[in-house]
Structures are given as structure tokens and as C-alpha cells.
Amino acid sequence: MTGPNSYDAERADLKAQINVLARLVDISVTLSSTLDFQRLINYIITAAAELLEAEVASLLLYDDKQNELRFFAATGGDPSELAKIPVPLNASIAGTIFRENRAIIINDVSKDSRHFRKVGEKVNFHSKMLLGVPMRIKDRVTGVLEALNKKTGSGFTEFDARIFSIIASQAAVAIENARLVTALQEAYADLGKLDKMKSDFIAIASHELRTPLGVILGYATFLREDAKGETGQYAQAVFDSAVHMRKLVEDMTNLRFMEVGQMPVQREAVNLHELLAEARQDTLVLAEAKGQKILLLPCDPPLVAQADRAKLIVAVSNLINNAIRYTPDGGAVELSVYRKDDEAWLQVKDNGRGISPRNLESIFDGFYQVEDHMTRKSGGLGIGLSIVRNTMKLLGGRVWAESPGEGRGSTFICALPLTAKS
Ligand code: ADP
């Protein structure tokens, strides 16, 4: 018979179930937005114990190497103590839940022979009632979620089991995600270390190559001047190869500037004419070897930009170096800097082999070279212009190339914003 009392009881029961479901939604939202592994599992068991009104909740994950379950967290009890206890798959209730992939409710644990007592003894906890559910991702069981000793009513119910299964499957996915994120972060950190080792190796190797190469270049220069006939040709071949190698070593040293966009900018007042003079001095040996002149036009009044001196000189040296290499023996390179509105335009002009219109932009791409690398004579790594472009971008400027066409010389222009004072 259903009287007003049982109607009220049903309403109260329904209200309680609605509350539980509302709380379940909150838990789901938190689970899908937490990626910190330890915080996530602590949250899962606390929320699970609270929602089921259980004295304790615990979470076991499957260890595929040992083929056993291990406690990862538990409310109450020392989690590090629990973590030491392996839970066998064949002689425990958790193991049965895992193997049979189904929920189990036992409201009198002491009578169940599968109960694995070692855990309770270790943490001094007496389990009377147990609800355990498998944690699944698709068909794969990854662990077990357990609640012990219901504080209200006469024990765990089917409704509790259904609610618990929902938490468990969401927890399984959230844990998997957190694990994947952690693994990715670790892999990323490892990659960073490897990348640093690679960069360090290149920096050290290129630095160490400079000294012996300088010696080879120096003696080859003497020999070339003194030797006659066939020996003179051999000396010239040694010299050319050493110059080629010097370019490669310089490119290796400059490889780190490829990532120039991620480097800190150290601005200072830079007199741009002086900077051109310095870069010219650095490249004179190369130009003289090819019988070329490098002309630096005067600049009056002086132009000063707030720029990163070290990076700017690498960029300008790359342009001068190219002008020399891509201009035949006896050619000329002209350097100038002048004001254009509120910018300074640094110009490197040569009367060399020129650039066809279709290549004027692509030459600024990393590792792009107009000639096939197997047949080219003036080989570098193809990174110089991409370094120049990155540097100019970093300094708030621009760089571009102009050329009337192949065989008719090239001009490279770097536009840099000027400070108010200059
Ligand atoms: P690399 O010189 O090592 O090949 P860069 O990035 O400095 O690499 O130059 C890319 C390409 O642009 C060169 O391979 C060359 O074909 C072309 N280039 C660069 N500077 C000049 C120049 N002054 N005259 C003609 N071509 C040039």
C-alpha cells in the first residue's frame, strides 16, 4: 500500500538522486579540465568517497610489467605505504573486478574469501562493505575504483554502482590524458636536451675548425703568391678549397642564428656607418683574394639606430660575403647607408651574376639555393639570407633584394627604423 509517507520518502529519494547527478556533472567538468596527474587522482578519490558517502575510496591502476594492480591513491591511510603493496589479480576482489570487467558490490566483506586482507592490515583499516568498478577506455580495463564502508543506509546500491561506473570511465580517460601529457612533456624536455647537445657540438666543432683553417688559408696565400707554374695552380686549388671551407665553417657557426627570432634582443645605439666599416674589414681578405674592391660610401650626418649590434653585424657580413662570392674576380662591391624617411637603409650592391626576378624572394628561405648544390662552386649551406631576414624582422626592420636580372648585379637593402634622436 502506498500512503503519503512512502510518497514523501520516494520524493526525498528522488531529490537525493538528482543531487548526486548534479554533483556528478561538476565532477565530470573538473575531470576533463585537470591535467596534473597527482592532483587528478587525488580529486577522483575524494569526489568518489564524498558522492557515495563512503568512509574511504581508493584507486588502483594496472601495472602491465608486473601483471598486478597497484594502489595509486586512497582517502585516509598513507598513499606511499599503500603504493608499496602489490594487489594480485587472482586473489583479490579488485583483481576479480579487473579480470571480469564488471562492478562488484559486497555488503559483508568479512564473509568473502576473495578479500585481500593484507591491505587493511597494513593501513589499519577494517573493510565491511565494498563497491568496486572497473576503469575502462573502450574495451581495455586500466584499473579499479573502490569505495569502502557506506556511512549511511544499509550498504552500497545498484544506483551507487552506476554512478561509480560513470566516474570510473571518465577518470580512466582523464588519467590517460594526463599520462600522455606528462609523457609528451618529458619527451619534449628530452628533445630540448638533445637539441642543445647538437647545437653545442656544432658550436664547438666549428670553433675548433677555425684555427687550423686559418693556418691553411695563411700558408696557401703565401704559396699562391710565390709559387710558379704547376705548383702555383696547386696552391690556388688549396686556397680556393680553404676559402670554400671557411664559408661552411662560418655557416656552421651562424646556424644558431637561424632561430634568431627566439633570441633576446640587446639594443644599443649603433652608428651604422661604423658598423659597415667593421663588416667590410672582416671580409677584405676574401675580396682581395678575388681581386675585388669593396667601396664604402661616406654618410653625413651619421646615422644611429637602436639595434642589436652583434646580430646586425652577422647579418650585414652575410650580405657582403655573398656579394663577394657571387661576383666574378675583379668585380666591385659598394656599401652605403643613408636616411629614407624615418628609416636607415643599409645597402650592399655588387656587379656580379645578379638574380632572376623569380628568385628574388625565395632566396630568403632557409636552405634555398638558386644553383643545384652538386654543381655549385660558391657553396655555403643556404642559410645566410634567411638569417638576415630573421634578424631584420627581430629588429623591427625589413630586407629585400633588387636586381635588373641575371648577369647584371644585385643590391640588397636592409631598412631599419631610426631612433627619434638620429
Ligand atoms: P648560400 O650563399 O650559402 O647559398 P644564402 O642564403 O646566403 O646561402 O643565399 C641563398 C642564395 O641566394 C644563394 O645560393 C645564391 O643563389 C643567391 N644569392 C645570394 N646573394 C647573392 C648575390 N649577391 N648575387 C647573386 N645571387 C645571390
* Better-scored residue on pLDDT, 381 or 69: 69
Nearest CA residue ID for atom 13, ligand 1: 369
Kindly state the average pLDDT of the residues 388-393. 94
The whole-number pLDDT of residue 349 equals 98
In this predicted structure, the answer to whether residue 233 has a pLDDT above a threshold of 70 is yes
Q: How confident is the model at residue 111 (pLDDT cuts 50, 70, 90)?
A: confident
Q: Looking at ligand 1, which residue's alpha carbon is closest to its atom 20? A: 322
In whole angstroms, give the CA distance from residue 361 to residue 391: 16
Q: Identify the CA nearest to 245 among candidates 210, 291, 197, 293.
A: 210
Determine whether the shortest distance from the Cβ of 331 to ligand 1 is under 6 A.
no
Grid cell listed for 30: 573538473
pTM above 0.85, yes or no: no
Tell me the percentage of the chain whose pLDDT exceeds 90.
53
The finding on whether 382 has its CB within 6 A of some atom of ligand 1 is yes
| pLDDT(69) > 60 | yes
Q: What would the mean pLDDT of 46-59 be, rounded to a whole number?
A: 92
CATH T-level fold of 261-417: Heat Shock Protein 90 (3.30.565)
pLDDT given for residue 421 in this prediction: 41
- Quote the ligand 1 centre to 408 CA distance (angstroms): 15
pLDDT tens-place string over residues 77-110: 666 777 777 899 998 899 999 999 999 999 888 7
Q: What is the pLDDT of residue 374?
A: 59
Name the residue with cell 687550423: 212
Distance 369 CA to ligand 1 centre (A): 6
Angle of helix 229-254 versus helix 272-289 axis, rounded to 10: 150
Q: Which residue has a Cα nearest atom 4 of ligand 1?
A: 382
The pLDDT score that the predictor gives to residue 150 is 93
CATH tag, 4-186: 3.30.450.40
Q: What are phi and psi of 59, to 5 degrees?
A: -130, 125
Q: Are 132 and 97 in contact (CB under 8 A)?
A: yes
Domain ranges of the chain: 4-186, 261-417
Q: Which atom of ligand 1 is nearest to the CA of 348?
A: 23
The residues, ordered by sequence, that sit 6+ positions from 36 with a Cβ below 8 Å of its Cβ are: 178
What confidence score (pLDDT) does residue 259 get? 73
Confidence band, pLDDT 50/70/90 cuts, at residue 71:
confident
Using a 6 Å cutoff on CB, does residue 323 contact ligand 1? yes
**Cell 672582416 identifies what position?**
282
Q: Is the CB of 322 under 6 A from ligand 1?
A: yes
Q: What's the gap between Cα 359 and its chain centre?
A: 32
* Ligand 1 contact via 385 beta carbon (within 6 Å): yes
Question: Which percentage of the chain shows pLDDT scores above 70?
Answer: 93
Q: Is 35 helix (H, G, I), strand (E, B) or coil?
A: coil
Residue 270 alpha carbon to ligand 1 centre in Å: 26
Nearest to 296 by CA among 348, 339, 344: 348
319 compared with 176, residue with greater pLDDT:
319
From the CA of 134, how far away is ligand 1's center (Å)? 64
Q: How confident is the model at residue 299 (pLDDT cuts 50, 70, 90)?
A: very high
The model's confidence at residue 62, banded by pLDDT at 50, 70 and 90, is very high
**pLDDT of 355 over the 80 cut:** yes
Please, which pLDDT band fits residue 318 given cuts at 50, 70 and 90?
very high
Chain-centre distance of CA 330, in angstroms? Answer: 47
Residue minimizing CA distance to atom 25 of ligand 1: 354
- What's the gap in Å between 125 CA and the centre of ligand 1? 76
Mean pLDDT of 2-15: 78
Quote the CA–CA distance of 288 and 333 in Å, as a whole number: 12
Cα separation, 251 vs 362, in Å, equals 19
In tens, the pLDDT along 115-171 reads 776 766 666 677 889 999 999 998 899 999 999 999 988 899 999 999 999 999 988
Average pLDDT, the chain: 88
Does the Cβ of 350 fall within 6 Å of ligand 1? yes
Which residue's alpha carbon is at the smallest distance from atom 14 of ligand 1? Answer: 369
